[in-house]
Structures are given as structure tokens and as C-alpha cells.
């Protein structure tokens, strides 16, 4: 197989992923806190046990917010070759996806509200078997990648 794809995502992706991870964990933390409080107050368990669920969520947060984004960013790579789009991602299960440009039906860029704050965008390209995406590229780069994929996909004549 060819070497790793050359391009990386925008470094700001790590910060964005930390924030989204935090936001996702927040309700869980509140729930764990409430459950612990209820256990102490009504279940008669000691304070030490009651604080356990919240601590578990904090530990999970350490992994999700502290470690995962860095590892994920280091693994995520992409490259637009003349004939294929090459993607690599995954922390534990590393997956390598090859999509021939000839199969790409259309490409678009997307930007969520948080992404907009960071000036990041996601490129989504669709094949007949579903979409693939390259997340968290800086918006100008995303536009460039989108246009390049569209341009190359147009030129492919092999079916």
C-alpha cells in the first residue's frame, strides 16, 4: 500500500474536539452528580461512595478531552491524489479509506456553529454508497479541497 497520506487537519481541530467532548460530557457529569447526591441523601451511602459516579465521569473526561483529540489529530491524514482520495483515521482501529475520484458524485463543505468560531469547515464527498468526510480543515483550505475534488472528479472518464 502507498505511504501515509500527506496532509493533516488544521491544528485548531484539537481545541475544537476538546470543547465538543466537554460539551457532550457535561450532561453526563450533571447526571452522575445528581445520582451521587441522591445516593448520599436518600440511599444512606457514604459521601465517598456518592462521589464515585462523578469521579468516573471526570476520569472519562480526562481521556475524551485530554488524550483522545491529540491522538486523533495525529492519526488523521488525507491526500487528494490524481485518481483517488486517500483518508487515514482512528485511534485504536486505524482505518485507511480509498475513494476513486471517478465514483464521487458531488462534494460540499459544511460548517457548524462551533466550527464557524474557529474558522474550520468539513468537506463531505458523496459516492453512490454513502458519504465520506474530511473534518476540521481551515475554511479556505476546505474550499480549495472541495474545488479540487470537484475538478478532478469531473475529469475522470473511467467508469
Partner 1 sequence: MNSEKHLHPVAMLIGAIKTVRRWVSALVFPGIAFLVSQGFSVWTITLFVLGIVFVAALAGLWGFLSWRATTYVVTGDAFRLRQGVFQKRERTIPLEHVQSVDTVQRVIQRVFGVVEVRIETAGGGASEPDASLSALSREAAETLRRRIEGSSREATGPTVLRRLSVRELLVAGATSGQIGVALSLVAVGSQFVDNFFSEEFIRRLVETFAPNWLMVVLIVVPAGALLAWLLAIAGTILAYAGFTLSREGDFLYIKRGLIERREATIPLSRIQAVRISEGVLRQPFGLASLRVESAGYGEDSGVSTTLFPLLPRDEAQNLLAAAAPEFALDPTLNPLPRRALRRYVVRSIIPALFFAAAAALVSYLIFGAALGLVALLLILPAAVYGWLRYRAAGWVFEEDRLVVRNRSLGRKTTIAPRRRLQSRVVVRSPFQRRLRLATFLARVASGSGGSSLRVIDIEAEAVGTLAENLGPGVRLEGA
Residues that bind partner 1 (CB under 8 A): 1-2, 83-84, 90, 92-103, 127-130, 132, 156, 158-159
Residues 6+ apart with CB under 8 A from 45: 39
Q: What is the distance between the alpha carbons of residues 45 and 36, in angstroms, rounded to a whole number?
A: 9
Instruction: Tell me the closest approach of the beta carbon of residue 77 to partner 1, in angstroms.
Output: 14
Closer to partner 1 by Cβ: residue 44 or 158: 158
CB burial class (10 A; 0-12, 13-18, 19+) of residue 23?
Answer: exposed
Closer to partner 1 by Cβ: residue 139 or 156: 156
Reading the block at residue 126, the C-alpha cell is: 458523496
Reading the block at residue 22, the C-alpha cell is: 466537554
Closer to partner 1 by Cβ: residue 32 or 101: 101
Residues 6+ apart with CB under 8 A from 140: none
Closer to partner 1 by Cβ: residue 18 or 96: 96
Instruction: Tell me the closest approach of the beta carbon of residue 119 to partner 1, in angstroms.
Output: 29
Query: Does residue 104 contact residue 85 with C-beta atoms inside 8 Å?
Result: yes
Instruction: Tell me the closest approach of the beta carbon of residue 103 to partner 1, in angstroms.
Output: 5
Reading the block at residue 73, the C-alpha cell is: 489529530
Amino acid at each position: 500500500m502507498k505511504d501515509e497520506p500527506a496532509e493533516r487537519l488544521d491544528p485548531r481541530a484539537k481545541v475544537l474536539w476538546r470543547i465538543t467532548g466537554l460539551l457532550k460530557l457535561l450532561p453526563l457529569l450533571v447526571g452522575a452528580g445528581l445520582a451521587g447526591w441522591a445516593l448520599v441523601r436518600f440511599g444512606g451511602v457514604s459521601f465517598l461512595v456518592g462521589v464515585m459516579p462523578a469521579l468516573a465521569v471526570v476520569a472519562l473526561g480526562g481521556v475524551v478531552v485530554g488524550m483522545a483529540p491529540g491522538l486523533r489529530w495525529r492519526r488523521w491524514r488525507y491526500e487528494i491524489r490524481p485518481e483517488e482520495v486517500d483518508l487515514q483515521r482512528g485511534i485504536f482501529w486505524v482505518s485507511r479509506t480509498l475513494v476513486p475520484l471517478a465514483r464521487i458524485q458531488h462534494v460540499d463543505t459544511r460548517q457548524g456553529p462551533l466550527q464557524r468560531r474557529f474558522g474550520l469547515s468539513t468537506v463531505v464527498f458523496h459516492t453512490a454508497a454513502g458519504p465520506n468526510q474530511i473534518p476540521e480543515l481551515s475554511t479556505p483550505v476546505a474550499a480549495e479541497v472541495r474545488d479540487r475534488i470537484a475538478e478532478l472528479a469531473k475529469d475522470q472518464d473511467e467508469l
